[in-house]
Amino acid sequence: MALLDVFIGSMQSRYAAMAIIASLLAVALIVVFSKEKIGFGKKLMVVALMFLLSLPSMLYVLFQITCLVTGTSKGAWWCGIYAWLLSGLIILYSILIILMSVLSLSANAEAQKIEQFYAEQDESNDEAKKLMEDEVPSRPVMDQSEPAVPDSNNMVEPVPPTPEEAPEEAPVVNATVEEFSSCGAPWGNNY
């Protein structure tokens, strides 16, 4: 019996080990490829620390499953069922960790879209401010020594209209509240 058989000496412990390693790899990949403002070296340090901290508990669980399964050869059939139950829970837990890692990655993608939107909005605001600052009205600037009153020699007097040019008076309509509603629709006895 080799040392490796102590930890993955049964089918249940092998499946549980594969699930644990897959979940640890998923989390490690998410940590390494996430868009956090942490250096790559620090990300690798977090991954290495995660593997080192999970190794003792992972080995203990695998040892427990292997012992439970090999104990079934002595007639304790419930140990095999317990081992399958424990292995199933570990696989379920590992699947949940992988799922959460993928969801975290998709949330990271959404956060990137939001950051891009705000960056584009800030850029557009900066461009608008620059355009508004560059836009100078094209009015001549008056000298302060000149009076602001126009020259009376160049002024044109308005000519009153002659009776032929005068517009006809429009007929007066007597609209009352009873004839029209507030939205302008006809109202009253005539309609």
106 or 14, which is more confident: 14
Phi, psi of 184 (to 5 degrees): 95, 0
Domain ranges of the chain: 9-105
Rounded mean pLDDT of the chain? Answer: 77
Could you tell me how far CA 1 lies from the centroid of its own chain?
53
Taking residues 132-161, report their average pLDDT: 61
For residue 22, the model assigns a pLDDT of 93
For 19, the token pair is 């699930």
Q: What is the DSSP secondary-structure string of the chain? A: --HHHHHH-SHHHHHHHHHHHHHHHHHHHHHHHS--SS-HHHHHHHHHHHHHHHHHHHHHHHHHHHHHHHHGGGT-HHHHHHHHHHHHHHHHHHHHHHHHHHHHHHHHHHHHHHHHHHHHHHHHHHHHHHHHHH----PPPPPTTS-SSPPGGG--PPPPPPTTTSPPPPPP----TTTB-TTS-B-STT-
CA distance 26 to 98: 6
For residue 25, the model assigns a pLDDT of 93
Beta carbons of 91 and 16 less than 8 angstroms apart: yes
Whether the pLDDT of residue 163 is over 50: the answer is yes
For residue 177, the model assigns a pLDDT of 47
28 or 82, which is more confident: 28
pLDDT in tens, 51-104: 999 998 898 888 888 887 777 665 556 667 777 888 888 899 889 988 888 888
For residue 28, the model assigns a pLDDT of 92
pTM value is 0.49
pLDDT in tens, 1-14: 577 877 888 888 89
